[in-house]
Structure 1
Amino acid sequence: MNPSRPQALGTVMIVDDAPGNLAFLSDALEEAGYRVLVATDGASALEQLRYAQPDAILLDAVMPGLDGFETCRRLKADPGTSLIPVIFMTALSELDDLLRAFEEGAVDYLVKPIRHQEVLARVGSHMAQARLIRRSEDALVRSGFAALAIDGAGGITWLTPAGCRWLQELSGRSSGGTPPANLPPPLAEWSRQRIAVEDTDPHQGTFTAQRDGKRFTARLVPCQDGQEYLLLLQESSGDWNLDSLKSALGLTPREAEILMWIARGKTNKDVGQILGSSPRTINKHLEHIFEKLGVATRAAAVAVALDRMRDAPEAAA
């Protein structure tokens, strides 16, 4: 590798049983500024991945022992490696082979003989996209929001810790166990129906369920790649009866929901992300809330709401 480069562009694993191909690709990638890991078969590649995490994998389809297709399937089945972009390399060019590669989770397919300029271009593009996805997911995890991603069939591909707790509570399972692999049946069916009719406007349609005095809601939005969908999840505790709140204060359902999140310390930006609206829209709703409650600040609005919530049981009695 060129010692003048202060930092590598990333790490690429090459899996190929042909020494000539390994040497050719290693030289091209190292010269371009990448770190390189090599494996001569699928089994040794999977073993290396227990200790190293590359940013992309160049995978030969036809190898002795564990071939590229089965290796890719195992990579995608493991949460620790499922997000690594896999680019197949092979002399096979039949349509069935191409389709099988994508079915196993590959993001791209190169037919030999391979040109190093094409490899560099595709590796760079897929690594950039994977990093963008990881940054987005990391931001959601750090925010504490409950969210998860599903594929077109409704299978869970990724979820935040808060999203895991949301699913466990909705399903009546104890927290701290193995993350659920599938959505609860009612939510799965609702998601499939929304996806089938391409109805993914977050402002239209909300999944709602009740359990143990809590209200669970979910909104569906498409991810940028069009292959996955993001479910934004919310849980309302029983101490916030939104129907009573909107009736007592003369609020719309959306205004009552916004006031609840403001009372929980969320900023306009936070509330906008939770409800699928812009901070500007949330601010306009807050202006209407202030006017209806006769207050001028968020703190005063929350104080009025909390007073009404405390009075509600007495009124009901």
Structure 2
Amino acid sequence: MSACILCIEDEVTLLADLVEELNAAGYQVIAAHSADEALLLLEQQRPDLVLCDVMLGGDSARDGYFIYHYIREQRTDLADLPFIFLTALGQRSALLDAKRIGVDDYLVKPVDYDMLLATVSSRLAQVKRLNGYSLSRQGSFRERLQSIFAQLPGAVLLCDSAGQLLYANPMAQRLAQDEGVWTQDSRGRLCWLDITPGSLQTFQQYATELSAAASGERRVLALERYSHAGAVFISVLSLTSEVQALTDSTDNLLAVFVSCAQSRSLPELETLRLIFALTPTEARVALLLAQGQRTDEVALALGVSASTVAFHLRNLFSKTAVTRQADLVALVLSAGWALPDLSGAVALTP
């Protein structure tokens, strides 16, 4: 697919000429006559390069510098986007001002189209080369993280410091698809659904703090929900130094562990049986209790008497070293989060 150029120029004739030349060179072009039009296009599509007039009709509040600062300061998802100024101001001081703030290139009107196309091609090639190196290093690290997270029975999300969602393990995907706990916006950023503004603000604050924190630092938060469906409990872990050490990148990664009523995984029956040396019936009793059923409901579900359930419950207490039903349920739930399916494994006897 050819690169997409966002071209911003208030002179109608010049804008048409720029679009024609860039199209003829094989580029896709999205065009804007003003800063407002450009900002709207940036919400809808991600270009590969920006070519922008400095003056834009003389509106000093919404000129090319305004767009440049907006992209660099508010759109961190566009951090690698080359930005080229196009201007009638050819003075050395104007060029130095642009270079000092980080503008990638500076072309002076009247437009030399050969120079324009060479500059665009060079900047795009540079980004491709740098991104290729960075991605090859980051890709290996992220793949290792994803392979670990994929095996966890609990919900885990991986995102960067700007909130861009990079990975969601199977349980996290289920929370999005079936339960509507989270989603992605049009920019691919993580968005929590049905969460109160105060909780969202606290989450954003924690994410910002952890982006600059040492690796291993963690924040824990209960996200309150409008629907009264129970809070969403999250633990956000900074992976900053690991990313920098292994990829030579300044990107920060955050692992978000999610727990709510819909994500409390129960272990497989066979897994529970093997871990605690339970009989099949004892394992069924434990799982039914962990699902919130009362002992009389367990008896009805299994087609046995209440005294039989009480007998199995005493055996469960003995084998799991707990003394209360609530502790047994907590143990089963914790096993569900921590353990993969062990079906097919062989129980080891001392």
What is the TM-score with the length of structure 1 in the denominator? 0.49
Larger gyration radius, structure 1 or structure 2: 2
- Larger RCO, structure (CA 8 Å, separation 6 or more): 2
